[in-house]
């Protein structure tokens, strides 16, 4: 009989027994840990490592002030920097609430607490902590539930692309990846290799646009000794080096026209000849190509051979730019923060509201690569506890007024949780309801309240491969 999943831990730092009883009633699905003062809170946080805490600022020996509360918050932040602390403040006391956020608290709630809102804040904090843990596992290379280890996304269109790549990995067909620079073409090409039967063979990549035209032929096909000045020994090319594995031809649209004929022959016959050689060499290679150019226009303009285009294009996978993946910029920014904090020995705690708003608003013409480079600089050069917009070389953006509306925030969080559960369960609503800890009728009611019909959910998950190939609108990480 399978073991029941353990309840997530929730630390309550509160000296009012009445409020403690209310928390017991409000959070039956959590393993509650109660502390009444700073020493007990620090001991429990160290021993149990709870992901989330709710903490009153009025703690003994200063129950009518906030000095002990802020001292406890600072001590918890030093001891458990990944824990999400939600502070409880007096009604209307935004000064202390904002000071707590600046000192590392995740969020705040006013007393007396709106239980529904507090439950949403705790659930959102727990979900963010889970995402951060998963992103750290990604950065450490230990894997994730996603089939594409190098891709960080919560966007449903990109998840469809990942599932399409997962399917195509086992099929020996030529795949053409279409996407702007920095969108994740090489990450997806590697996934096609790693998830397929050729995973134990080599993965060989060559950028057709980065090598001078007079050297590209010898790079691809190799050369014999004496084939040209400087050819002092026999050298195999990238195609031959990829035997029994995968050859990734990046920026295939830049391939010179005269080389397209020779590449076409290789694709048709799986045979090459080295430069200066006369002996046919059989090779067994899977070819994955990628470009940021509209190859159909290249073909119609006579700059790319149509027969080569169709050889490379058994299946096309379109990768959306970052600007067309709502929410992913913020998710990726948090991922890179965790990664670079670890890499450079920093302990930046998060993002100023104006920085996160700027991240979400910026169009990211360089896509994920641009975001990665800006985040690396911000982590290395940042001087405060939070990353500011100026650290990212972006203009600060004030969050929308709706972001300060508690009801709107609750609705956004609820919709986000619904979408994540549906995506993780791949549209199986019974499974999504189980993940959410609610009944299926309740899930249907929530879907209706947020304008999501059951039919639309089912159709969106019916055939991800077909959707990814046929949808010319944006369908994820870095090249």
pLDDT in tens, the chain (479 residues): 444 557 899 999 998 888 899 999 999 999 999 999 999 999 999 999 999 999 998 898 888 888 899 999 999 988 888 899 999 887 556 788 888 887 888 888 888 778 888 888 898 888 878 767 765 555 554 333 445 777 888 788 888 899 899 999 988 889 999 999 999 999 999 999 999 999 999 999 999 988 888 888 888 998 888 777 777 788 888 999 999 999 999 999 999 988 999 999 999 998 988 888 888 899 999 999 999 988 888 898 888 999 999 999 889 999 999 999 988 898 899 889 988 988 888 888 888 888 988 998 999 999 999 999 999 999 999 888 889 999 999 998 887 644 445 555 666 777 778 877 887 777 778 888 888 878 777 777 777 777 665 555 554 455 433 333 333 333 334 44
Comparing CA positions, the residue from 26, 239, 4, 242 lying closest to residue 122 is: 26
Task: Indicate the burial class of 216 (C-beta count within 10 angstroms; 0-12, 13-18, 19 or more).
Answer: buried
Q: Rg for the chain (alpha carbons), in Å?
A: 27
- What pLDDT was estimated at residue 31? 94
Cα distances (angstroms) measured from residue 274 to each of 7, 54, 55, 262, 450: 62, 68, 70, 11, 61
- What pLDDT was estimated at residue 188? 94
Q: Which tokens hold the place of 289? A: 């190509």
Looking at the chain, the number of H-run helices and the number of E-run strands are: 20, 14
- What pLDDT was estimated at residue 468? 36
Phi/psi of residue 290, nearest 5 degrees: -150, 155
- What pLDDT was estimated at residue 411? 67
CATH of span 174-313:
3.40.50.300
Peptide bond into 68 cis (omega under 30): no
- What pLDDT was estimated at residue 105? 85
CATH 1.10.8.60: which residues of the chain? 338-398
CATH 3.40.50.2300: which residues of the chain? 9-139
Phi/psi of residue 20, nearest 5 degrees: -60, -40
Fold of domain 338-398: Helicase, Ruva Protein; domain 3 (1.10.8)
Report how far residue 417's alpha carbon sits from residue 427's, in angstroms, rounded to the nearest whole number.
14
- What pLDDT was estimated at residue 476? 39
- Domain 9-139 -> CATH class: alpha beta
- What pLDDT was estimated at residue 453? 57
- What pLDDT was estimated at residue 136? 59
- What pLDDT was estimated at residue 339? 87
CATH 3.40.50.300: which residues of the chain? 174-313
- What pLDDT was estimated at residue 5? 58
């Amino acid at each position: 009989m399978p073991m029941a999943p353990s309840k997530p831990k929730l630390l309550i730092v509160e000296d009012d027994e009445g409020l403690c009883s209310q928390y017991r009633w409000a959070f039956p699905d959590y393993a509650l840990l109660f502390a009444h003062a700073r020493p007990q809170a620090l001991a429990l946080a160290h021993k149990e490592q709870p992901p989330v805490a709710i903490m009153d600022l009025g703690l003994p020996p200063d129950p009518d002030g906030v000095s002990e509360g802020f001292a406890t918050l600072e001590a918890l932040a030093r001891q458990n920097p990944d824990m999400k602390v939600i502070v409880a403040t007096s009604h209307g006391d935004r000064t202390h609430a904002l000071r707590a956020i600046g000192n590392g608290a995740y969020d705040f709630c006013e007393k007396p607490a709106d239980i529904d809102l507090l439950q949403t804040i705790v659930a959102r904090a727990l979900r963010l902590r889970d995402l951060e843990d998963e992103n750290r596992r990604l950065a450490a290379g230990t894997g994730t539930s996603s089939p594409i280890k190098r891709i960080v996304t919560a966007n449903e269109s990109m998840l469809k692309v990942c599932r399409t790549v997962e399917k195509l990995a086992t099929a020996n067909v030529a795949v053409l990846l279409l996407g702007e620079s920095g969108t994740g073409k090489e990450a997806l090409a590697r996934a096609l290799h790693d998830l397929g039967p050729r995973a134990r063979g080599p993965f060989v990549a060559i950028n057709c646009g980065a090598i001078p035209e007079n050297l590209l032929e010898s790079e691809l096909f190799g050369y014999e000794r004496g084939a040209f000045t400087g050819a002092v020994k026999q050298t195999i090319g990238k195609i031959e080096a990829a035997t029994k594995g995968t050859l990734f031809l990046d920026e295939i649209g830049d391939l010179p026209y005269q080389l397209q004929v020779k590449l076409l022959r290789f694709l048709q016959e799986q045979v090459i000849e080295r430069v200066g050689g006369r002996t046919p060499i059989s090779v067994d290679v899977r070819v994955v190509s990628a470009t940021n150019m509209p190859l159909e226009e290249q073909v119609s303009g006579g700059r790319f051979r149509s027969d080569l285009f169709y050889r490379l294009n058994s299946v096309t996978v379109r990768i959306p730019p970052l600007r067309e993946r709502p929410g992913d910029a913020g998710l990726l920014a948090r991922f890179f923060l965790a990664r670079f904090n670890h890499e450079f020995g920093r302990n930046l705690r998060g993002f100023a509201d104006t920085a996160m708003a700027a991240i979400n608003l910026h169009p990211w013409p360089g896509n994920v690569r641009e975001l990665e480079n800006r985040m690396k600089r911000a982590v290395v050069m940042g001087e405060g506890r939070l990353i500011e917009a100026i650290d990212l070389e972006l203009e600060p953006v004030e969050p929308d007024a709706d972001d300060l509306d508690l009801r709107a925030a609750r609705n956004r969080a609820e919709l986000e949780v619904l979408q994540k559960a549906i995506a993780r369960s791949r549209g199986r609503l019974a499974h999504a309801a189980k993940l959410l800890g609610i009944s299926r009728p309740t899930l249907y009611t929530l879907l209706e309240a947020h304008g999501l019909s059951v039919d639309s959910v089912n159709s969106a998950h019916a055939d991800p491969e077909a959707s990814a190939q046929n949808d010319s609108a944006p369908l994820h990480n870095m090249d």
